[in-house]
Structure 1
Amino acid sequence: MIVRHPSRRAVLRGGLIATIGAIPLVGATAARAHVADSEQFVLDGAGGNPILKKSLHANWVMQSFAYDGTNGHVYFTQSNPDSTNGDIWITQTDLAGNETGAMALHGFGHGVAIAAEPYNGAVYLWTEWEASASGFGTKIGRFPFANGTSLEADDGSIQDRTPSIGETMINPQPAIDPVSGHLLVRYKVAADMPRIVAFDLSDARAGRLTTDDRLTERALPSRGSWGDANPFQGYTAYGRYAYLLEGPVSTTSYITTIDLNDTGQSIVVDRYPTTAGQSLPGREPQGMAIWATSSGPRLAFGFHSNTGGVRQASVFYKSDLT
């Protein structure tokens, strides 16, 4: 039987969304609960679809995306479905998904996650970096977006922003909460043992990413046979809560809510099923991000689709909070 620790808000709402499947609660350690309280996205609430079936720079598979709310851009990562050499295309678009620029990254990784940071007149991207033989990144790099350029993994301008918290860090993946000003890193310490750690973005920008710099760190649910059938496809965080995206091609996708201040592998909302974009051909969930707007934050989640060999990107969002 699954063990869940609902948030105070979830209790006041009358309980949790019905459980779909079970998550083993093993291999967890206590968190340092220092993330300020915040509202939580309502997964069955109102939302929208600002980007629908947009072709990106290369006819490669969309993997993740991030919003630059300051300049009105979205940054998508794309990986080559026929290669594991760690090459990524970055496509910059407007808020409707129309291409406005592109950049090539060689030997970086798979593009599982990306973060965009407007800072001092430039936009810095955070991605996995230094791909292993598997094609996935082994570190996290920070570098400015430069339209029309190519960046090699050994370029000296790339800032190493891999946390150093005394643990094995397998396939680290960055995300930025632009509202709270946090950097999040999802990683694994061993097979099927994912974790998440949070830092103040100002500390992370300066390279202060040690154990003493953490805001919080905690285990994420082990995925077991569920993970074999429903691949991890992205994550993000807003304030106290992180959100995970899972699911295979052409069927139901799931969003899970995690309380960053809780412990063990507990969850708040268990694998909420979403049929957003269900008519997309070859629909596959790919990426999550927080979109900061003048009307409030939005929980955005994306899908790759394939129309007659043309690969496309779509983005949906939830905007209700409780």
Structure 2
Amino acid sequence: MKRETSGQLSRRQILQRVGGLTAAALVGSVALTQAGTASAAVASSKRFDLTDPSEEWFREILLNETRILQSFAFDNTNKHLYTVQLVQGGRILPGETRAYTGTERDTSGDLCITRLDWQGYIIGRMYLKGFGHGVSIGVEPSGNSAYLWTETNALADSNNDGYGTKIARFKFANGTVVQSDSQQVTRFDPVPGSDHNTVAVDPVNNRIAHRYRVNGTTWKYSLYDLATFKAGTFTALATITQPSVLTGPTFQGYTTMGQYLYTLDGTAYTYDSNGNQTSTSNTYVTSIDWNTGTVFERRLSNAGQSLFYREPEGLAVQIPDTSTPTVARLFLGLGSEESLTQTDKKASFYYKDLLV
């Protein structure tokens, strides 16, 4: 884990303490185009400066499965990290009578949740059958454990990948296998008929963001008060249409804090037959104003650029010390492998923490 040294105020610390300047005055070029439609009234807040260099937290740690990291989220109260992967091919889970291939797991939407401490050690796991692709998850701390928010009721798309048609909430239970129709799972259907449903939780403001697709074509995001959503009342604080700048790239995750939605897109490096890299980073982090649907900032990320393979996988907000909730980190997840022949995936995590 990387720590900053104390002493003179850094540029980051100075800017964090600036109160009178506008966000645009603190950042050089700001993208004010690519607006989606919006309907919102979200209180103004600071935002993460995406020009802030990323700092390394964990580099190439192992998770429970050999497959790529899909997404992750933090339990800031108990200092746990929850990660999501599709179940690896060949694994036989309790209650199953045969091994399933990775392709079959993709189609069914079978996921593995790994719980780690903040030193990077695995301290629990559970399996979800029929839930989805794991593009994004949310965590709601509860005592010394947590409730997890995921997609569920997976439906296979044209590529035979299962994506959620509803939202699920359930308590993490180490060592268990949970079916999507289990009584342990509370299901929510905020936008009936939508598909590719996922969620992310704002741990600072206790809100939940919902990404979904309507009519098989249009991507939307809605923001709700978490307690209200949990009670089954789906009155959105904000709803925006996904900006067109995100239409072409490969979408890889999102999160939210305050007035801003943050998204991640990009693909893995490519290589020739000798293992020489033949592409450069196309990983972008974008901030979007919930009130207007406007892209505020879009920046190329070179975090972890020396990793072999390096695929962007997920965003999440960490509060390092819950007694100081105004200090937050925007985390980016990366999946990698050691070489063309050593393909078991590892996970790395980098963060930005400059709020302006």
**Cα distance per residue 1:240-285 (max 9 Å; x no partner):** 001110001113310011000114xx21013x00110111111000
- The answer for the alignment partner of 1:242 in structure 2 is 261
Give the CA deviation at 1:96.
3.0
Paired letter, 2:173 = A
Q: Is the 8 A contact 1:50 1:95 kept in 2?
A: no
How far apart, CA to CA, are the structure 2 residues paired with 1:190 and 1:96? 43
TM-score w.r.t. the length of structure 2 is 0.79
**Cα distance per residue 1:201-229 (max 9 Å; x no partner):** 111222222xxx211111121357x62xx
- The answer for the alignment partner of 1:214 in structure 2 is 236
Cα distance, 1:158–1:138 mapped onto 2, change above 3 Å: same
How far apart, CA to CA, are the structure 1 residues paired with 2:174 and 2:121? 15
- The answer for the alignment partner of 2:10 in structure 1 is none
- The answer for the alignment partner of 2:137 in structure 1 is 114
- The answer for the alignment partner of 1:5 in structure 2 is none
Q: Is the 8 A contact 2:54 2:303 kept in 1?
A: no
**Cα distance per residue 1:5-58 (max 9 Å; x no partner):** xxx934323653479xx85x6xx544122x111101011215422121011011
Q: Is the 8 A contact 2:135 2:253 kept in 1?
A: yes
Percent identity of equivalent pairs: 37
How far apart, CA to CA, are the structure 2 residues paired with 1:221 and 1:179? 25
User: Are residues 1:198 and 2:223 paired?
Assistant: yes
Give the CA deviation at 1:100.
0.7
**Cα distance per residue 1:131-161 (max 9 Å; x no partner):** 1123111111000000000001111221112
Cα distance, 1:192–1:49 mapped onto 2, change above 3 Å: farther
How far apart, CA to CA, are the structure 2 residues paired with 1:258 and 1:169? 22
- The answer for the alignment partner of 2:337 in structure 1 is 306
How far apart, CA to CA, are the structure 1 residues paired with 2:238 and 2:124? 36
Question: After TM superposition, where is structure 1 displaced by more than 3 Å over at least 4 residues in a row?
Answer: none
How far apart, CA to CA, are the structure 1 residues paired with 2:78 and 2:330? 18
Other structure's SS at 1:310 match: coil
- The answer for the alignment partner of 1:3 in structure 2 is none
Paired letter, 1:41 = F
Alignment equivalent of 1:142, drawn from 126, 146, 169: 169
How far apart, CA to CA, are the structure 2 residues paired with 1:138 and 1:258? 25
Larger radius of gyration: 2
Q: Is the 8 A contact 1:192 1:222 kept in 2?
A: no
Matching of residues 227-238 of structure 1 within 5 Å: 227=248, 230-238=249-257
How far apart, CA to CA, are the structure 2 residues paired with 1:29 and 1:169? 18
Cα distance, 1:259–1:58 mapped onto 2, change above 3 Å: same
Matching of residues 68-87 of structure 1 within 5 Å: 68-80=75-87, 82-83=102-103, 84-87=107-110
- The answer for the alignment partner of 1:269 in structure 2 is 297
Q: Is the 8 A contact 1:40 1:241 kept in 2?
A: yes
How far apart, CA to CA, are the structure 2 residues paired with 1:192 and 1:232? 14
Paired letter, 1:317 = Y
Other structure's SS at 2:264 match: strand
Alignment equivalent of 1:252, drawn from 282, 285, 300: 282
- The answer for the alignment partner of 1:4 in structure 2 is none
Paired letter, 2:287 = T
Paired letter, 1:298 = R
Give the CA deviation at 1:169.
2.1
Paired letter, 2:112 = W
How far apart, CA to CA, are the structure 2 residues paired with 1:67 and 1:287? 12
Q: Is the 8 A contact 2:31 2:295 kept in 1?
A: no
Matching of residues 44-83 of structure 1 within 5 Å: 44-80=51-87, 82-83=102-103
Other structure's SS at 1:138 match: strand
How far apart, CA to CA, are the structure 1 residues paired with 2:265 and 2:215? 19
How far apart, CA to CA, are the structure 1 residues paired with 2:108 and 2:47? 38
Other structure's SS at 2:197 match: strand
Structure 1 stretch 188-197 or stretch 38-47: which is displaced more?
A: 188-197
TM-score w.r.t. the length of structure 1 is 0.86
- The answer for the alignment partner of 2:22 in structure 1 is 9
